[in-house]
Amino acid sequence: MNDPLVTVICNCYNHEKFVTQALNSVFDQSYKNIELIVLNNGSTDGSLRKIQDFTAKHPSVKLINLAETLPHTQAFNMAFKQANGSYLVDLSADDVLLPQCIREQISCFIQQPPTVAIVFGNAFHIDENGTRQGSFFGTDEKQHVKDKGLFQTDYTRLLNTGIVMCSVSAMLTRRHFELLNGFNEKLFFEDLDYWLRAAYSYEIRFIDVHIAEKRELSSSLGNQFFKNDSVSENINKSLRIIYREAINRNSKEENNILLKRIHHSMDKTFRARNYPAFFKFALLELRCRLKSF
């Protein structure tokens, strides 16, 4: 059986310091049937030069150079139009794939029924210098996850709050990506919405292995949530769209679960003194509560 083609789409925005390591981590995979597409998403630093140096050595790599920065959802969908792989990896240019990453993901996928849309594993947190700071999902002394509920990741778990997703260690199927019409381009970020839509209609599998490194920077998107600035407003706007769409498709029981996630957003925006955002989440909370009755 031939190894299926995997497309890695690496989105780079001002990651001059890290992009070469990210790209090398793709070429260092033990699994070799990989197509790499690099998207320079309007970087204003020296990222493009670093990428061009890399592609000069590896002419098989496809480079998409955007003059202006697009939201990740739009940028990834654009790059996907040039992808040929049966499976997709969404790689940020400041993160790293460990050498066995894609082989572990493919090995899992080929044992699954065709209803499985996402496979994901554990990852190490790393700092700016690449020093490991611990695991994304907490582990025991044998490096196995403590939260065994990860093996039952489904729609209701994703509706709730807490750390469930690890997008840096995730692989998507092309088939399901097309069936779900890709990432929602109305959104500023992609993962929560896509995982919810995928889990609502299909299945997700977890593999208990560290397969990637997720870099934590002050500029990382995860550190921008619930601040009181233009970036956080884009994030909060996206969250409200995600919650609204979830409310509309949920059962009463599912909306009761979603209330906890909305309350979390209300609490964070209130603490950030972002009162307009808090009020908008409060209105959604009322709508969700009414739908749950």
Per residue in 51-98, pLDDT (tens digit) is: 999 999 999 999 999 999 999 999 999 999 999 999 999 999 999 999
| Contact between residue 19 and residue 55 where contact means Cβ atoms under 8 Å apart | no
One domain for residues 255 and 160: no
How many Å is the Cα radius of gyration of the chain? 19
Check whether residue 247 and residue 125 sit in a common domain.
Answer: no
In a shared domain, residues 259 and 200: no
Contacts for 274 with CB less than 8 Å, ≥ 6 apart:
226, 227, 228, 232, 233, 236
- Does pLDDT of 220 surpass 80? no
Same domain? 181 vs 261: no
Tokens for 160?
């709730």
* pLDDT more than 90, % of the chain: 90
Question: Do the domain assignments include residue 1?
Answer: no
pLDDT of residue 208 exceeding 70: yes
Q: Domain tally for the chain?
A: 2
C-alpha 102/C-alpha 42 separation (Å) is 28
Residue numbers of the domain that contains 276: 224-292
What are the φ and ψ backbone dihedral angles of 88, each rounded to 5 degrees?
-130, 140
Same domain for 98 and 213? Answer: yes
Q: What is the pLDDT of residue 271?
A: 93
Tens of pLDDT along 167-178?
999 999 999 999
pLDDT for 231: 85
Q: At what angle do helices 252-271 and 275-292 cross, to 10 degrees?
A: 170
Res. 228 pLDDT band, cuts 50 70 90: low
What predicted TM-score, i.e. pTM, was given to this entire model?
A: 0.92
Instruction: Tell me the C-alpha distance between 178 and 5, whole Å.
Output: 16
Note whether 213 and 228 are same-domain residues.
Answer: no
Give me the DSSP letters along 128-189: TT--EEEESS-B-TTS-BS-GGGGG--HHHHHSSSS---GGGEEEEHHHHHHTTSS-TTSS-
Phi, psi for 246 (deg, rounded to 5): -65, -45
